[in-house]
Structure 1
Amino acid sequence: MSTALALSEWPARIGLERGQNVLLAVDVTRLAWKHRHAGAAKVPGLLLDAFRVALGPEATVLVPAFNHDLQDGERYDPDRTGPITGTLAAIACKHPGFQRTRHPLHSFAVAGGAQDRFMALDDASSFSLDSPFALMHELAFTVVAIDLDFDHAFSYFHHVEELERVPYRQWRDYAIDYGSVGDHERRPFKLFAKRWGYANRLRDLRPLLEAA
């Protein structure tokens, strides 16, 4: 069986249906190794296309394309700054069917039916009611994680933390040099960031979420 054909079966094997909105969080290392003889470099693009075709044009596919390592005062070009969330994100940001949302710390590569709605979002906060995470809730997205543990696949949890104003987080302001070469400006952003000494262990919530 060809790599493209094998990957095309994944959405159905996972149990997804046509029209279903999906956030796709994948470490492609093991997949690329498995299909190395057919060309490992092709695997991320083939996986993206497999989900887009199987779910249909009315569905929306998101891939986390984060740069949450950015510091106050640093430069961010949405067209040139590569995401730190892996190969799938890097390929998605260059894929002709995807566009990259606006927030410098927590952007997404987005394709499909709600692409225009995601691209219109431009809030200063990563996780606010006007963020992609809120739209994910409105559109009933399903998180599909492949070869990623729960802590790294479920960033949506931080949206809930901001809405609930949890006491172990606090506001952090950023001024980012935002834009392309010759057309950039200093823009304010903010993050409801963890206080020093705290860490999330989302895997402890997995049994509760699976039972919900």
Structure 2
Amino acid sequence: MEELALEWRKSGVKEGDTLLIHSSIKGVFKKYLKLGIRLSAEDILDSFISAVGESGTLLFPTFNYDFTKGVAFDINTTPSHMGALTEAARNHPNAIRTGHPIHSFVVIGAQSNKFKDVNNFSSFGADSPLGLLHEMGGKIAVLNMPEKGSMTFYHYIEEMCEVDYRYHKVFTGSYIDSLGVIELRDYGMYVRYLDRGIKHNSNPAGELMWSEGLYYGSRPYEGFGLRVVSATDAYDFISNIIKTRGAHNIIYELEGE
């Protein structure tokens, strides 16, 4: 899939990158079907692995919200609910999965061992994979998805800024570790105040990122639809907005507005 790897590089992916990928791959499938080529999720995964090269590292969200409903989380077998590409990554023989039972990530590549023992309590805390991505100077790529529903990194920024429209909530459930040991564990999430009518909508933040030239690549369904941003640039820009202007109508909106 060297042709696809070249497309990703045109959008800002570079060899050696540590890259978090949020994805909808239907558009890529359709492009290739028109050429008479039927791709698999594994083909697209291989193209991203090729794009960052042997010195690069890929992260994929493997979120699953069943733990919040009383379903046991098994770090070895609980599937991702984030799409076919993330499941292909989870099943990759070299994948390492981080420990949070709601917001886990799988990591493949040269720096994957740095994520091996990440078992953060809070989904988006400083010690989460998003915090480590930020510390490592990584990038975030979004394939054919709107800002809302894809840029989980905003939640990390919100937690670091201790925004007043979210609070820490604890979930308790059965957890099955990599050795098959079952125990009851507590994990946290920085959740919205639903009773205040807080609704997540980061589409305006995305438009601001485009206007500031922070995104490279293409908007959803333009070309191959991949956009890339530096985690450091995104953090600095959005955290400054939160601190100086507030996040209302930029990252969140109120019910009925």
Q: TM-score, normalised by structure 1?
A: 0.90
* 1:158 alignment partner, SS class: helix
What corresponds to 2:168 in structure 1?
171
Question: Where does 1:100-179 land on structure 2 (aligned, <5 Å)?
Answer: 100-179=97-176
Quote the Cα distance in structure 2 between the aligned partners of 1:38 and 1:176: 44
Residue identity over aligned pairs, in percent, reads 27
CA distance change for structure 1 residues 72 and 189 in 2, over 3 Å: closer, same or farther? farther
Quote the Cα distance in structure 1 between the aligned partners of 2:128 and 2:98: 10
Q: How many residues align?
A: 207
What corresponds to 1:186 in structure 2?
184
What corresponds to 2:242 in structure 1?
none
Quote the Cα distance in structure 2 between the aligned partners of 1:88 and 1:95: 11
What corresponds to 1:79 in structure 2?
76
Residues 70-116 of structure 1: CA deviation (Å, up to 9, x unaligned): 31532111222111111111111001132221111111111112211
Quote the Cα distance in structure 2 between the aligned partners of 1:175 and 1:107: 16
How far apart are 1:8 and its partner, in Å? 2.8
* 1:70 alignment partner, SS class: helix
Quote the Cα distance in structure 1 between the aligned partners of 2:7 and 2:184: 43
2:57 to 46, 57, 60: 60
1:34 aligns with 2:31: yes
Quote the Cα distance in structure 2 between the aligned partners of 1:110 and 1:182: 21
How far apart are 1:182 and its partner, in Å? 5.3
What corresponds to 2:205 in structure 1?
205
1:24 aligns with 2:60: no
Q: TM-score, normalised by structure 2?
A: 0.75
How far apart are 1:57 and its partner, in Å? 2.1
Contact map agreement 1:72 1:175 (CA 8 A) in 2? no
Residues 133-180 of structure 1: CA deviation (Å, up to 9, x unaligned): 111111122111111001122101101111122111111111121116
| Amino acid aligned to 1:39 | R
Deviates more, 1:72-81 or 1:116-125: 72-81
Contact map agreement 2:176 2:183 (CA 8 A) in 1? yes
Uncovered stretches (5+) of structure 1, i.e. residues with no partner: none
Contact map agreement 2:68 2:102 (CA 8 A) in 1? no
1:70 to 67, 71, 74: 67
1:6 aligns with 2:3: yes
Contact map agreement 2:96 2:115 (CA 8 A) in 1? no
Q: RMSD value over aligned CA atoms?
A: 1.8
Q: Select the structure that is richer in helix.
A: 1
Uncovered stretches (5+) of structure 2, i.e. residues with no partner: 213-236, 238-257
1:50 aligns with 2:86: no
Contact map agreement 1:7 1:46 (CA 8 A) in 2? no
Quote the Cα distance in structure 1 between the aligned partners of 2:21 and 2:30: 19
Quote the Cα distance in structure 1 between the aligned partners of 2:95 and 2:63: 15
